[in-house]
Amino acid sequence: MSAILVTGSSGLIGSEVVTFFHGKGFDVHGLDSNQRAIFFGPQGDTRWRQQQLIDTLPNFRHHELDIRNRLGVLDLVKVLKPSGIIHTAAQPSHDLAADIPFDDFDTNAVGTMNLLEAARQACPESPFIHMSTNKVYGDLPNLIKLTEMETRWDYADSAYTNGISESFSIDQSKHSIFGASKVAADVMVQEYGRYFNMPTCCLRGGCLTGPNHAGVELHGFLSYLVKCNLEAREYSVFGYKGKQVRDNIHSKDVASFIHEFYLNPRCGEVYNLGGGKGNSCSILEAFKLVEELSGKKQLYRYVDENRIGDHICYYSDLTKMKTHYPTWNITKSLKQTVNEIVQSWQQNMRSQG
């Protein structure tokens, strides 16, 4: 059996990828050091998911290793020589990054570099799939002409009818410290693909979500919103009248695209990976949807100050992905995804008493 290596294997996307590839008959090696608990505190802890994977997947092996450990990463990749590396480990919060800039850059940029060079030395022919972010575009999407609707902002420029494409500039904009560290990683992944002719790609994710997301205020928009709703906790809306728009994609649809790229890789590619316009919603629209599914009123307060570098409206143009990989498509609607998140949090709350 082929072996693949998944970094950040206990996180939302990492664990989904582990499960997906295991189901396809792969031996799966997961690399994770539970840094999420350090970044976000106990509510960000993912040990429970790690244990689930160990208990339920016989061909999964966990490796307790931080991607900042250059020699440790190099040694592991040289031993495994995996047929694919799926890199989902990251410091994921653009708010938190400003407080921990060295940890953020060392994790997102240097950690990615450690993995790339290990792959080049040990298995340069193996696909290297990197979870990037739409934050690499900085706040340039905010310069697109918008129209204000009753519950959301949307693009007024017909050039963006289908959303933001991969040709959109990442230059001369405010990214947040997090966005800048992810730009560095994104560009290096592209460069290793183009310079060394390695099969690499950057997946510039929108809001990646699902029932296994340990959402916290600084990261995990839909999951944290649902948690607040069910616990009757006040949710803070930061700026833009609560009409800011995001596209949401279920973690299973992310994993299935990663598998498509693994089977038919390209060198130095970039894809905007999100739910597209059909799975987009504003915060106000998310409130209404969650209330409909949970039967509970959403409590929230409005803070008339947006987060630095935050997008007013962003959804991904999926044209390039679907052109390169025509058998892939979104299978989970926004309502299905939110309903799964609601049911997951409800089950967690019942199990906790």
φ, ψ of residue 184 in degrees (nearest 5): -55, -45
What is the structure's pLDDT at 100? Answer: 94
pLDDT value of residue 137: 97
What integer is the mean pLDDT of 239-245? 96
How far is the C-alpha of 47 from the C-alpha of 338, rounded, in Å? 24
Looking at residue 307, its pLDDT comes to 83
Over residues 175-200, mean pLDDT: 97
Question: What's the pLDDT score for residue 205?
Answer: 94
Residue-level pLDDT at 46 = 86
* Total domains, the chain: 1
Q: From its phi and psi, is residue 214 left (phi > 0), alpha (psi between -120 and 50) or beta?
A: beta
Domain carrying residue 87: 3-351
Which pLDDT value is given to residue 218?
57
Q: Which two tokens stand for residue 163?
A: 């959303």
Structure confidence by residue, pLDDT tens digits, 50-90: 999 999 999 999 999 999 999 999 999 999 999 999 999 99
Identify the residue whose tokens are 């999100």: 274
Q: What is the pLDDT of residues 150-160, one digit of tens each?
A: 999 999 999 99
User: If pLDDT is split at 50, 70 and 90, which confidence band does 37 have?
Assistant: confident
Beta strands in 139-282 (DSSP E): 146-148, 153-155, 200-205, 207-209, 235-238, 245-250, 269-273, 280-282
Return the pLDDT at 220.
67
Q: Which of 41, 48, 38, 42 is nearest to 11 (CA)?
A: 48
Q: Which two structure tokens, joined as six digits, stand for 347?
A: 């089950």
Question: pLDDT confidence of 353, banded at 50, 70, 90?
Answer: low
Dump pLDDT digits (tens) for 190-230: 999 999 999 999 999 989 999 877 666 656 688 899 999 99
Confidence category of residue 110, pLDDT binned at 50, 70, 90: very high
Q: Is the pLDDT of residue 42 over 70?
A: yes
The residues, ordered by sequence, that sit 6+ positions from 15 with a Cβ below 8 Å of its Cβ are: 9, 46, 49, 52, 53, 212
pLDDT over 90 (residue 308): no
pLDDT in the model for residue 139: 94
Q: What is the pLDDT of residue 1?
A: 59
Question: What's the rounded Cα separation, in Å, for the pair 285 and 15?
Answer: 28
CATH of residue 293: 3.40.50.720
